[in-house]
Structure 1
Amino acid sequence: MQKIMIFSNMYPTQKHPTYGIFVKNQVELLRSKGLDVEVVAITDPAKGKLPNLKKYLFWFIRSMMHMIGDKRRTTLTHAHYAFPTGVLSLIGKKLFRLPYVVTVHGGDIDKMAAKNEKIRAATQKILQGADAVIVVGDRLKKDVIERFGVDQKRVHVMSMGVDKEVFKPMQKSKARQELNIPENEKTLLFVGNMIEAKGVLELVDAFKIIQEKYPVAKLHMIGSDKDEAFMHIFAKRLLDNDVRIIHHLPMPQKEIAKWIAAADVFVLPSHHEGFGLVALEAMAVGTSVVGTDVGGLSYLLSDGAGILVEPKNPQSLAEGLIQALSEPEDKRCNVMQRTAANHSYEVIAKRLMTIYEEIEKTRMKKS
């Protein structure tokens, strides 16, 4: 295998350390296995019509130049997100006969393809033209096969994996000591973008109920607050409920792992979720997870691995959180560790490299 070219419309930098961190983690994993991986990605999360137009145009030009320059050395391209990223891989296949893999993360199917018929048609063409389609959850597999007509033999269910060197069981008392969290505090933790789709408004409403039962409870939220309009709505909801939360800006994964270890419960009240990688990371640390019964979370938290609640329902969310807070800490430990082991980096790397190798073998037979 010569070179794998990765396209992504999200990739972290020192300035924006969590922007597409899951893509970077997989890239570094592949490199650690000896693969030659080149990344052509967008690293600026700035929004707005003009900034978006500029960064996507520049990214398209850079991607084309990389494919033209390295087409003879490149084994295949791998696009993260079907649209718009997959357009690059589709062009690469048509112009330079480069086979490609697409990883569907959820938003590209649930939201992007639903914007209009042209994007949906382009998404379908990208998925049907791919040599392999990776979906991060079972529900997405069903969607890709039934809604977009992709041959199920080319669809693989595979999460982005959990780094068990970072997200691993830690002593709660030690984590709390380092983070200055009192031992008697009931600590709830949310990690994700501060946006409506992550269910943070319902979380505020639910936390109001939690505080009535646990007066010393605290809600810590780690995530980007770049959507100023929504943050005004969020602040008003806090005032209306007379609730205070502790908000932390995005931080390195090792710090997030420490916060997860210090928490009594990890909560992910999303309205939709392709997989819910951060919930898996919490499970790997050993912290109980409460999540909404949507998308990949429905599968990830099934069979006692976590507590599933109704989406967009603060009362159901509060009941799930109270259940988690009242359970023995080790009740779900074994099933959580088994689930995390099934998604370890070693397992993911082996499966991903097998997909690459099969595509390369097929290409060699055709040439």
Structure 2
Amino acid sequence: MTCCVSESERAEGRAVGITGDLRLIPNDVEVGALRAGAPVDRAQARKLLEVDDDVQLVVCCARLAHQKGQDVLLRAWPAVVAAEPQARLVLVGGGPDEEALRRQARGVEHVRFLGDAPRETSVAWMVASDVVTCPSRYEGMSLVPIEAGALGRVVVASDVEGVREGGWGPARVVVPVEDADALAGALHQVLADPAARAEAEAVAWACGDDLAQQPRAADRVLELYAELLGRA
């Protein structure tokens, strides 16, 4: 028995020759608790974080590491700022690549490194954002896009395992892995159309409502153990 957190991961397992029962138990988040611990809306979050209302805020919440692709995001960012001068990028998190990324960001406008932050701070930045971006090189099924969607935010993410799953519709914009130009274009497209973004945010919130009604992954894992023990 092999447990997979996304359909993409299960397909990849089969492709490399893993046989037997590959059981799908997708990653999820506890939507009710997530929302209860977050600011009530973007305005409140921005007041808390001292972000001006007219800023177009892009947030990346992830460990600063090669896997997470912040170097690709920094390559994309000058084109975003050139098209949207009010755009600001906040990188939430620390990690082994922080020094290298800070060096890469020298001379790049409107980039802020927040460093390691408590979970409630990361959540507040997501609520304050106009876009949450996840430029990873690989994942199983990342939790950040799920959290951001459940908080009613549009996600621009690279096309890694699990990112297309969950039925997020226009609230999930997917670009090729390591394609800085495509990433810049997608971020600009979302920032440049507030009306379409608001519609996508409503879709994201509704998808979060649906997710809240589904069985939790932890419960499904317990059921799987019970099934296996019953077999034994």
Per the shorter chain, which TM-score range? 0.7 to 0.9
1:332 aligns with 2:216: no
Superposed, 1:146-185 pairs within 5 Å as 146-151=15-20, 154-168=21-35, 170-185=40-55
Give a deviation string over 1:78-131, Cα, whole Å, max 9, x none: xxxxxxxxxxxxxxxxxxxxxxxxxxxxxxxxxxxxxxxxxxxxxxxxxxxxxx
* Partner residue, 1:135: 4
Give me the TM-score of the superposition, normalised by structure 1: 0.57
Letter in 2 for 1:186: Q
Q: Is the 8 A contact 1:279 1:289 kept in 2?
A: yes
The reply on whether 1:211 has 2:81 as its aligned counterpart is: yes
**1:258: Cα distance to partner?**
1.2
Shift of 1:255: 2.2
The SS at the match of 2:156 is: strand
State the superposition RMSD in angstroms: 2.2
Instruction: State the alpha-carbon separation in 2 of the partners of residues 334 and 156 from structure 1.
Output: 32
Residue 280 (structure 1) aligned to one of 128, 135, 146: 146
Aligned counterpart, 2:100? 233
TM-score (structure 2 length as normaliser): 0.87
Alignment match, 1:289: 155
Structure 1 pair 244–333 and aligned structure 2 pair: CA distance change class (3 A): closer
Query: What letter is aligned with 1:134?
Result: C
In structure 2, stretches of 5+ residues that fail to align are none
Where does structure 1 differ by over 6 angstroms across 4 or more consecutive aligned residues?
none
Indicate conservation of the 8 Å contact 1:198/1:271, yes or no.
yes
Would the alpha carbon gap of residues 166 and 302 (structure 1) be closer, same or farther in structure 2, given more than 3 Å must change?
closer
Distance 2:76 2:208 in 1: 28
* Residue in structure 2 matched with residue 200 of structure 1 by the alignment: 70
Identity %: 20
Q: Secondary structure at the match of 1:332?
A: helix
CA–CA separation in structure 2 for the residues paired with 1:331 and 1:244: 27
Give the structure, 1 or 2, with the largest relative contact order (CA under 8 Å, sep 6 or more).
Answer: 2
Name the larger-Rg structure. Answer: 1
Structure 1 position 351 matched with structure 2 position 217:
no
Given that residues 203 and 314 in structure 1 are in contact (C-alpha distance below 8 angstroms), is that contact kept between their aligned partners in structure 2? yes
- Equivalent residue of 1:307, what SS? strand
Q: 1 CA distance for matches of 2:111 and 2:181?
A: 18
Say which of 91, 94, 102 aligns to 1:221.
Answer: 91
2:132 and 2:153 in contact (8 A); partners too: yes
Paired residue secondary structure (1:247): strand
